[in-house]
Structures are given as C-alpha cells and as structure tokens.
C-alpha cells in the first residue's frame, strides 16, 4: 500500500517544475502566530480594525502599535526546518519557485542560510503581500528599511518620509487594497508553468493569493497540500498530507537537514 507521502514524493520526482505557495502555517513552528488558527492574530485583533487603509487613516497609532509589536516578535524568530527544506529544494531545482503570502521574511532568511556563498535568488520568494520589515510612504510611495523603534505616542511621532514628509506605513498589502500587479502576475505565471503546486500552511481563504494553485490544476498539474486541517483547496489536491510543515517537508522534498 503506497503511503500518501510516497505518492506525493513520486509526483514531485516526476515533475519538471514544482512551485510552492505558503501561508502563515509554515512560520508557526518558528513562533510566528498564524492569523486564523487557535491563538491566531485575528482571534485577539479584528483584521478590519488593523489591516485596512481605513483603519490606518482612522487610527494610525494603533495600526503602527500592532505592526511594531509583530516586527519585534518576528525579529526574535528564526526559519524552521520547513523553510530550510523549501529553500534547499528550490536551490537544487533552480528557477524562482516559492510564492508566499507571509510578510515575515523567514523564507528570505532561509534562502541566504541555505545558499551560503552561492546565489540565493532561486529560493528568495515572491512576496505577494509585501514585507513587514519594510516601510512605504503613504504619500509618495518611497520604500525604505523598516523603522526600528516606532514612537506611537502621537501621530506626529510616527515615522515620516524623508523625501516628502508623508506618513510611513508598513509595506504590506491590507484588505481591500490591490496587490502589486507585477508581483501577482509573476506569481500566477509561475504557477501556470508548474506541474506541481505545493500548498503549505495556508487556510486558502484570502484572495487572489488562494486562487494561485488553481491555475496549476487548470493546466493539468497537481496540488500537493501540507496542512494540519482541510482547506477549500483540499478537494482539488492529488495528495493532502496532514502534518506540520517542519516535520513533513524535509522527507517530502528529500532534503537532509542533519548537517
Ligand atoms: C484585493 C496583511 C482587490 C499583511 C493580509 C475574491 C477575489 C478578490 C478579492 C477578494 C475576494 N473575496 C474577498 C476579497 C477581498 C479580500 C479577501 O480575500 N478577503 C477574505 C478574508 C475573504 N482580499 C483582499 O482584500 C486583497 N485585495 O483583493 O484587492 C482590489 C482591486 C483593485 C482595487 C482595490 C481592491 C488583499 C488581501 C491581502 C490582505 N492582507 N495580510 C499582514 O498584516 O500580514 S491577509 C493575511 O491572511 C496574511 O497576509 C496571510 O498571509 C493571509 C492568509 O492567511 P494564511 O497565511 O492562510 O494564515 P491562516 O492563519 O489563515 O492559516 C494558517 C494555516 O496554516 C491554517 O490552515 C493552519 O491549519 C495551518 N497550519 C498551522 N500550523 C501549521 C499549519 N500548516 C502546516 N504546518 C504547521 N505547523
Ligand atoms: Zn514620501
């Protein structure tokens, strides 16, 4: 009896192009809270109150307080075996293949750690929802490295743009904001050209990102899902592996992380 893992491994072995779409679940074992699971961020905060342009217009201090808290939390986290396995696999296969909804930067750190002196680019993800460690000017759009200590005491003490004086915001995509058209087009094109879309640690509820794996299926490719629970994509998956990303990915991708 072939196990689901063996079935998934043989699909990947036969594939020419494997792309992955990751969500907050791949960072859970690194200590970064997910959004919708038990203890998730949206359990104690309502996304409409913190992750929308209206919320930022209405109460920039509270939005900045939440993002500064998350920035500090993420700064103390490290990539886990799931990030490392995906990075090794991407470097081995070549060609940009990691698409992430996450803004925590852990895939990029794993890419640098896995590549050593070599070019990490194949393992650097397409970040469809932006990056929490970058700021963007809400007036002129200038992007800068994230301000380290945000003073949320007053609107005047929040970070402002050196170029035009406009108020800075975290460089992430909020609800009801369009994604960067070039970034999301690249993500869909990458998935369209793939034989397999490996979907890891996402509830597959947020669009348009959650639709990315469907273009692989529409072209006759496979979805392999790694999650702790079923999602709206599970019924489209050729194999659905229940388990933690950090446990499943090294054996699924045949990556030995012991050294
Ligand atoms: C837009 C901000 C249009 C950054 C986030 C249909 C089509 C198009 C849009 C919509 C649509 N329907 C509704 C919309 C609007 C909306 C949307 O999708 N709403 C949903 C909630 C219904 N979409 C938007 O607003 C998008 N913009 O469409 O604009 C437009 C066009 C033109 C002009 C104007 C507007 C913008 C979406 C981006 C929102 N920003 N975050 C930040 O602060 O982080 S979304 C937020 O959710 C995060 O970015 C996150 O990445 C994303 C998805 O969540 P997940 O990553 O999946 O995390 P979650 O906690 O949900 O799930 C974790 C999973 O992991 C679970 O399944 C769990 O079982 C699993 N897990 C846990 N531990 C492990 C594990 N798995 C493996 N191993 C483990 N150890
Ligand atoms: Zn500016």
The pLDDT score that the predictor gives to residue 41 is 78
- Do 150 and 244 have their domain in common? no
- Do 216 and 247 have their domain in common? yes
> Does 129 participate in catalysis according to the annotation?
yes
Per residue, the 3-state secondary structure of 61-81, as one string, reads HHHHHHHHHHHHHHHCCCCCH
| 2 Cα to the center of ligand 1, angstroms | 34
Residue 143 belongs to what domain range? 33-76+133-172
Q: Label residue 95 by pLDDT band (50, 70, 90).
A: confident
| 163 Cα to the center of ligand 2, angstroms | 5
For CA atoms 22, 26, 30, 33, give the dihedral sign: positive
| Interatomic CA distance for residues 45 and 217, integer angstroms | 35
Q: Are 135 and 168 in contact (CB under 8 A)?
A: yes
- Do 258 and 202 have their domain in common? yes
- Do 22 and 43 have their domain in common? no
The pLDDT score that the predictor gives to residue 259 is 72
- Do 219 and 251 have their domain in common? yes
Ligand lying nearest the CA atom of residue 161: 2
Annotated catalytic residue: which of 107, 129, 160, 222? Answer: 129
pLDDT, tens only, 124-165: 999 999 999 999 999 999 999 999 899 999 999 999 999 999
CATH number at residue 227: 3.40.50.1220
For 22, list phi and psi in degrees, rounded to 5. Answer: -115, 155
The number of distinct structural domains making up the chain is 2
Q: Which atom of ligand 1 is nearest to the CA of 50?
A: 43
- Do 158 and 239 have their domain in common? no
The pLDDT score that the predictor gives to residue 1 is 63
Residues at CB less than 6 angstroms from ligand 1: 23-25, 28-29, 34-37, 40, 51, 101-103, 129, 172-178, 201-203, 205-208, 226-229, 231, 244-245
Mean pLDDT of 219-247: 98
- Do 28 and 147 have their domain in common? no
- Do 117 and 48 have their domain in common? no
- Do 250 and 162 have their domain in common? no
CATH number at residue 39: 3.30.1600.10
């Amino acid at each position: 009896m072939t196990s689901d893992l063996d079935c998934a491994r043989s699909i990947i072995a036969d594939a020419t192009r494997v792309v992955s779409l990751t969500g907050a679940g791949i960072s859970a074992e690194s200590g970064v809270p997910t959004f919708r699971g038990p203890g998730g961020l949206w359990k104690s905060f309502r996304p409409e109150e913190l992750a929308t342009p209206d919320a930022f217009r209405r109460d920039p201090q509270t939005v900045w307080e939440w993002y500064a808290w998350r920035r500090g939390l993420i700064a103390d986290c490290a990539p886990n075996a799931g990030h490392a396995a995906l990075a090794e696999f991407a470097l081995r296969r070549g060609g940009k293949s990691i698409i992430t909804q996450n803004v925590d930067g852990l895939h990029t750190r794993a890419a640098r750690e896995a590549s050593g002196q070599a070019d990490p680019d194949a393992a650097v993800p397409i970040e469809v929802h932006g990056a929490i460690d970058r700021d963007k000017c809400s007036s002129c759009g200038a992007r800068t490295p994230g301000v380290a200590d945000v003073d949320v005491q007053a609107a005047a003490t929040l970070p402002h743009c050196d170029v035009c004086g406009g108020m800075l915001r975290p460089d992430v995509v909020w609800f009801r904001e369009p994604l960067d058209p070039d970034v999301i087009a690249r993500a869909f094109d990458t998935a369209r050209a793939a034989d397999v879309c490996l979907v890891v640690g996402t509830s597959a509820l947020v669009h348009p990102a959650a639709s990315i794996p469907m273009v692989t299926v529409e072209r006759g490719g496979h979805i392999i899902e790694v999650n702790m629970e079923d999602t709206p994509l599970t019924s489209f998956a050729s194999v659905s592996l229940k388990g933690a990303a950090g446990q499943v990915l090294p054996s699924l991708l045949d990556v030995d992380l012991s050294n």
